[in-house]
Amino acid sequence: MAGAHRIAGVDSDHAGGVWIAYQEVTSSDLAITHVDASGTTLSTWTYTDDPSEVSGIAVDDTAVWVNHNAIGSIGTDGITKLDRNTGTELQTFATQGQISDLEIQWGELLLSSYQNQVIGLDRTNGGQVSWMTTQVVRSTQTGIAAYGDYLFVSSWNMDTLTLVDHDGTILGTATSPVLHTSQTAAVGRFLANDGPNKLILATESQIAWLDDAHGVM
């Protein structure tokens, strides 16, 4: 599936559709779009954002969570919580910088850090409730997705996904033909869970569905 613009985050609606964040490089304009399984746009919300790079979204039963990862000293590092039905801003949490993607797993809002860490926040108040190092080797961690009771993480310049447990210990790796080893191609590499044994991978303006994290569906 081709996105309309540069993708800044993706998540599944677990009904065959996807939520997509669009933001061009250096732009303060942000769009959040919900597309159903047939490709029909169900809703689009647009925002003139602060000058922060959006990097990753997560969706639960009531809200869409948007990660603002400031570039340098411009903008604000934080998470914005939007009403899932209207797009109205409900809450904001300040976070540390260099967060690349979001996921909801183990009842927490998980933040994937470029420092190969996963930070868990309480979704009611933004307080930190967990932290772990994922041991992703020779690379910089980017996307994150739930996979059963575990997590898959993607990396900046490797052609593999890494499966980790609650402690960040590596359980295995998987390779997909849509992953590239070039650093440029890996920019904006986001992951999302799409049900049992299925993942969504977004790179630049392309979205692919992965079956058992081995290839394109």
Spatial distance between the Cα atoms of 34 and 84, rounded to a whole number of angstroms = 10
Do the Cβ atoms of 54 and 69 come closer than 8 Å?
yes
Tell me the per-residue pLDDT of 187-204, one tens digit each, with 9 for 90 and over.
568 999 999 889 999 987
Q: Which of 11-15, 29-33, 147-151, 180-184 has the lowest mean pLDDT?
A: 180-184
In this predicted structure, what is the pLDDT of residue 44? Answer: 96
Spatial distance between the Cα atoms of 75 and 193, rounded to a whole number of angstroms = 29
Q: Enumerate domains of the chain plus CATH numbers.
A: 7-216 (2.130.10.10)
Provide φ and ψ at 137, rounded to 5°: -95, 145
CB contact set of 86 (below 8 Å; sequence gap of 6+): none
Closest listed residue to residue 144, CA positions, set 189, 108, 184, 98: 189
In this predicted structure, what is the pLDDT of residue 48? Answer: 86
Tell me the per-residue pLDDT of 41-52, one tens digit each, with 9 for 90 and over.
999 999 986 668
Q: Band of the pLDDT at 186, cuts 50, 70, 90?
A: very low
Q: Which of 4-18, 42-56, 168-182 has the lowest mean pLDDT?
A: 168-182
- Sign for the pseudo-dihedral over CA of 33, 112, 164, 155: positive
Percent of the chain at pLDDT exceeding 70: 87
Tell me the per-residue pLDDT of 118-140, one tens digit each, with 9 for 90 and over.
999 999 999 999 999 997 766 78
Tell me the per-residue pLDDT of 53-78, one tens digit each, with 9 for 90 and over.
899 999 999 999 999 987 665 677 89
Q: Band of the pLDDT at 1, cuts 50, 70, 90?
A: low
Given a cut of 50, is residue 183 above it in pLDDT?
no
pTM: 0.91
